[in-house]
Amino acid sequence: MIVALEGILESRGIDSAVVKVGPLSIQVYVPGSTLSRLGAVGDKVHLHTHLYLREDNIAIYGFASADELGLFQNLISVSGIGPKAALALLSTFNAEQLASAIVSGNIDLITQVPGIGKKIAGRIVLELKGKLEKGWAGAVTPVLTQEDTDVVAALTNLGYSLREATQAVSNLPASQDMDLEEKVKLALSQLSRT
């Protein structure tokens, strides 16, 4: 079993990278969060990996952290979630945000990922909530409330990516005094500074 790769980054694509390991060049599928942390072509990289074997498909999936790898492996254990859907989830949210959404049962937030409907999101929460509550205790970021989910929806409707919107909302102060409009304005001001 291949559990990690270390080598030189040869190239990167939209959802993959090619890593030269000795005399071999290996294509590794990675989420957007990992792809953005790989560095420049020619840099040394280390990836935690999962070897995916099916009759018609052999692929290697790589992650910058063991937490991302563990969450990926949990996701693909859910009936109806394949590696591409798991990568889409991990490209949209970082590992802590996704674990938080699952543990809190925030199906509305999970369904904002392209290709993930309410039925699949519900299955993810049902099958993984108990596992993640134990394994992610203390590491899970604050849970997004329904109003925070509405702020994320408003920001994505304005053209921001789901990842940008979720990050901006998670950085908002935990004041109960702000209404939806005020939260959207504050999130927009944070996004305009980045």
Which residue has better confidence, 192 or 18?
18
- pLDDT category, 48, cuts 50, 70, 90? very high
* Architecture in CATH for domain 4-63: Beta Barrel (2.40)
> Which whole number is the average pLDDT over 20-40?
92
Return the bridge partners of 189, or none. Answer: none
Angle at 94 between CA 70 and CA 74, to 5 degrees: 25
Is the distance from CB of 109 to CB of 153 less than 8 angstroms? no
Q: Which of these CATH numbers, 1.10.10, 3.10.20, 1.10.8, 1.10.3470, describes 146-193?
A: 1.10.8
Superfamily of domain 66-135: 5' to 3' exonuclease, C-terminal subdomain (1.10.150.20)
**Rounded Cα gap, residues 51 and 76, in angstroms:** 12
Note the pLDDT tens digit of each residue in 66-102: 889 999 999 999 999 999 999 999 998 888 888 888 8
Residue 137's pLDDT is 46
Which string of b and e fits 117-132 if b means at least 16 CB within 10 Å? eeebbebbbebbeebb
- Domain ranges for the chain, please list them: 4-63, 66-135, 146-193
Residue position matching structure tokens 């979720």: 166
Residue 139's pLDDT is 44
